[in-house]
Amino acid sequence: MTESNKTFQSEKGIHTNFLEKMTYGDYLQLDTLLTSQKRLSDHHDEMLFIIIHQVSELWLKLIIHETKAAVSAIKRDDLQASFKMLARLSKIQSQIIQAWDVLSTMTPAEYMEFRDKLGNASGFQSYQYRLVEFVLGYKTPFILKIYQKNPEVHAVLQEAYYAPGLYDVAIQALARKGFDINEDVLNRDFSKTYEMDTSVEQAWLEVYQDVHTHWELYQLAEKLVDIEDWFQQWRFRHMKTVERIIGHKTGTGGSSGVGYLKKVLDHYFFPELWEIRTKL
């Protein structure tokens, strides 16, 4: 008898009869999950391409889940609860960044073997990625048009488009703590991408200049900086992976590809939190 068999037999409590019980596979719906990789070509690397993007979508789903919960916690001034979710969000982002390292093992020649099979399908159309941008406060109206084909998805995105983002509720928390925030910022049109405001900058500056008095707000600010830092790293790895594999070709979805990805690298979700670092 092998050592592995001896070890297994020594575990007397292990369940083996699942004729009427839920299994691990049942709980995770693995039959559905593991049969969802439908290649359109016979090329070996298309499996890699599909799985990387599917895994990334699952991580994006969790990012949305955690961010929405953090927004709710901040709204009710339970900042401590939000810190756990925001910290987890940063760890999730590190996983998505590493996914690009795996995808970059595919060469341009290999990708060209099946790229034409994708038609106009593109990561640019990922509604979950757009939802992440919306909940972080980056609102782009033309994006909604892409999803008119799916009323349910369009409704979810539209709701997030008009709702306050993570930074908006953080700024509202500053106001509730007594900081003098411009009313135009507090009552702004949340469907517009946030733009830097001097009153918000001054409030965060005061937080950083008196950390002990404003400890929770300081922690919140640093959690937001973590998220933006990781998000920018994700954007950079995305851009470099695309450049490595297709160069400066137009994306399958019609975008300028690397050119578009380079432009969004310049956008900040939480601009004042970066600006004050120069002024401290």
Extract the annotated binding site for heme: 238
Burial of 81 (0-12, 13-18, 19+ CB in 10 A): middle
List Cβ neighbours of 2 (8 Å cut-off, separation of 6 or more): none
**CA neighbor of 49 nearest in space, from 92, 97, 100, 109:** 100
N- to C-terminal Cα distance for the chain?
68
User: Which pair of structure tokens corresponds to residue 197?
Assistant: 């405001």
Binding site per annotation, positions: 49-53, 111, 115, 238, 252
User: What is the three-class DSSP state of 247?
Assistant: coil
* Phi, psi (degrees; rounded to nearest 5) at 220: -60, -45
How many CA within 13 A on the CB side of residue 13? 0
Binding site per annotation, positions for substrate: 49-53, 111, 115, 252
**CA neighbor of 200 nearest in space, from 211, 184, 189:** 184
CB 118 within 8 Å of CB 252 = yes
